[in-house]
Amino acid sequence: MTPSNELIGKYAIIILAAGRSARLGSAKQLLSYHGKNLLQHTIDTAHESQAGPIIVVLGSDMDEIASNINPLHLTIVKNPDWESGMSSSIVTGINTLKSLYPDTDSVILMVCDQPFVNAKLLNDLIKKKEESGSTIVASSYENIHGTPALFHKNHFNELSALNGDAGARYLIKKYNESIQTIPFDQGSIDIDTIDDYINLMK
């Protein structure tokens, strides 16, 4: 789907894919899913949405992973501190966004191991933001508010100040009383272990 004219450049996407996948034993980004790898599946989903530009943050095994995705219409950046936790990847992504695309209004943070994210879900985040004016719109599943999640530029400085493994959920919890959510029933399904992957492929 091509973004509508009024949305082009307004909503960016940052895909967080820098981790080592220690519990899995191999790079989850490259696991095969529906004829492509998980990261490419996530990238294609982002391309099908109304959002763009798209930034992919890599870290562990960057060269191998980067060589197995289509770089067209992507900004690929390395998080040199990926071992310190998810927050460092958010910081890398937000700083890249502010540098390259300073006029962006909001960003959607995604991870590459939620295989049931689709373009409609991403568009629903945007729609909820447009309708409500809320500065944070999160996905809701199993009493959790999490990714994919949209943040208005008012939160960019807070996002770029995160540290450790707190991730975006720190801000979602901080502003819990004022955020909006959309339902994502399969949001709790992610790939952390080989058993998770076997269950997914079933």
Helix count and strand count (H, E) for the chain: 7, 9
pTM beyond 0.75: the answer is yes
**Residue 24 scores a pLDDT above 60:** no
**Residue 141 scores a pLDDT above 60:** yes
Superfamily for the 11-201 domain: Spore Coat Polysaccharide Biosynthesis Protein SpsA; Chain A (3.90.550.10)
Question: How high is the pLDDT of residue 63?
Answer: 93
Please tell me the least confidently modeled range out of 21-35, 108-122, 157-171: 21-35
User: Do the Cβ atoms of 160 and 93 come closer than 8 Å?
Assistant: no
DSSP 69: S
DSSP β-ladder status, 32-33 and 11-17 = unpaired
25 pLDDT tier (thresholds 50, 70, 90): low
